[in-house]
Amino acid sequence: MNPIARWKVVLPLVGIFFAGSLTGAFLTVAIAKHEVRRQSDPTQWVQLTMNRWKARLRLTPAQEEKLKPIVEATVNDLRALREIDLRSTDEILGRAQARIDPELGPVQRARLQKMRDARKRRLQEWLNIPAASR
């Protein structure tokens, strides 16, 4: 086999390898993001916790019945704490914005506001918080 014929075989194989590697990397990232979102969804915390405890602790049905209300109350407390924290963060960022805005021109101010709105929207999506509760 001459050198040109070898390269005609090797290059497509290398290309296929890299294409497969990139596809695998993108799929891994997408699956990881989905799993993080799923586990950060407060509506799923009770079920995820109870399922994990059932499997790992081998809970009896009586134990499940007693523990579920405790887990639900804890999740509600954590959800309330998260909302308080986000409100405090918004207040701090609002004070900073009030100090920053006078230093910017009108176009810069509008761009910065768009950036803030996009960050807030991403945060709400990531934490699964409806816009009305903030």
Q: What is the pLDDT of residues 1-17, one digit of tens each?
A: 788 888 888 899 999 99
Residues with Cβ < 8 Å from 131, sequence gap 6 or more?
Answer: 121, 124
In the predicted model, is pLDDT for residue 132 greater than 60? no
When the pLDDT of each residue in the chain is averaged and rounded to a whole number, the result is 86
The model's pTM is 0.54
Q: Are 6 and 28 in contact (CB under 8 A)?
A: no
Pick the closest to residue 82 from 38, 43, 31 (CA basis): 43
Each residue of 84-122: b (16+ CB within 10 Å) or e? Answer: eebeeeeeeeeeeeeeeeeeeeeeeeeeeeeeeeeeeee
Tokens read off for 51: 């399922």
Q: For residue 102, give the DSSP letter.
A: G
Q: How far apart are CA 120 and CA 4, in angstroms?
A: 56
Q: What is the pLDDT of residues 32-69, one digit of tens each?
A: 887 777 776 667 888 889 999 999 999 999 999 999 99
